[in-house]
Amino acid sequence: MSKVLVTGSNGQLGSELRELSSRYKYDFFFTDRNTLDITNKQSIIDFVYKYKIDIIINCAAYTAVDKAETEKDLADAINHQAVKHLAQISKDKNIKLIHISTDYVYDGKNHKPFIETDDTSPNSVYGATKLGGETAMQKINPKNSIIIRTSWVYSSFGANFVKTMLRLGNEKDELGVIFDQVGTPTYAKDLATTILEILPKIKNSNVEVYHYSNEGVLSWYDFAKEIMEMAKLDCNINPIETKDYPTPASRPHYSLLNKSKIKETFDIKIPFWKDSLDACLKVLGERR
């Protein structure tokens, strides 16, 4: 039975992987920053050697997008240097590495969905450090390893946009939500399921990059409107522009990801975003 190390297991994706793990014939090791420091290369080597790890799914990341603007070293240590360590160890030990990246590696200035070979040009520290991790992994090039870029992740676990909207929808009569940032949400459970389904099919000599989000296209405003409607919350959502809600880090205005490559390579179907939101709200007990 293959032994799978999951880093960042207390995050949204890691938590969903843990929930699904009993359905798959792998021996899982779920770690967080307290049980495995991935910024310490020797710690990873010791863990991999002790538990004879065959596969690593790296869900660990520094995701505080705005704080990253002032915590550059910490963001780089987790999003870039740690990935470099994981990639080198994976290559040395012949371990399959699945690394999770982000739509923030793009500048958001496209007019059509980004494909994996489009030029990257991050406009935030977070995006730059995530791209640094991708670049390091591709340079080291561990065999049978992939990068999955995803966007707008939410889950029944952790803090995210969906849960924030549910809370605010119960507290306020109206909210302003940005309408000029366009992309697609990703239900972490769908991504977790995809990762576990494609694991045995990953066979490549060079690191491959794939895009994954749910199907469809919308703005944050559209997303918020649908959350309120599905949850039957009496909260009016007003569209606002990005300039009316300034943040320390710049967000991509357009980050729609083309998923053709992952669908064709692994013969998978991706759920429509409304269906996935409905499923998540049911798990949260908020679907009314």
Structural domain boundaries of the chain?
3-159+185-216+256-271
| pLDDT score, position 173 | 96
Q: Which member of 126, 210, 212, 254 is catalytic?
A: 126
CA pair distance 120, 241, nearest whole angstrom:
25
Alpha helix ranges (H) inside the chain = 12-20, 41-51, 72-76, 82-93, 125-140, 161-171, 188-198, 220-230, 260-266, 273-284
Residue 102: beta bridge partners? 150
Q: Is 69:125 a contact under the CB 8 Å cutoff? A: yes
Mean pLDDT on 38-55: 98
End-to-end CA distance of the chain: 42
Can you give the pTM of this predicted structure?
Answer: 0.97
Q: Name residues whose C-beta falls within 8 Å of residue 165's C-beta, 6 or more positions apart in sequence.
A: 175, 223, 224, 227, 228
71-75-81 Cα angle (round to 5): 135
CA pair distance 222, 284, nearest whole angstrom:
20
pLDDT at 157 over 70: yes
- What confidence tens digit (pLDDT) does each residue in 81-120 have? 999 999 999 999 999 999 999 999 999 998 899 999 999 9
Q: Is 151:215 a contact under the CB 8 Å cutoff? A: no
| pLDDT score, position 288 | 56
- What confidence tens digit (pLDDT) does each residue in 186-244 have? 999 999 999 999 999 999 999 999 999 999 999 999 999 999 999 999 999 999 999 98
| pLDDT score, position 287 | 59
Say whether 245 is catalytic: no
CATH 3.10.105.10 is the classification of domain 3-159+185-216+256-271: no
| pLDDT score, position 56 | 98
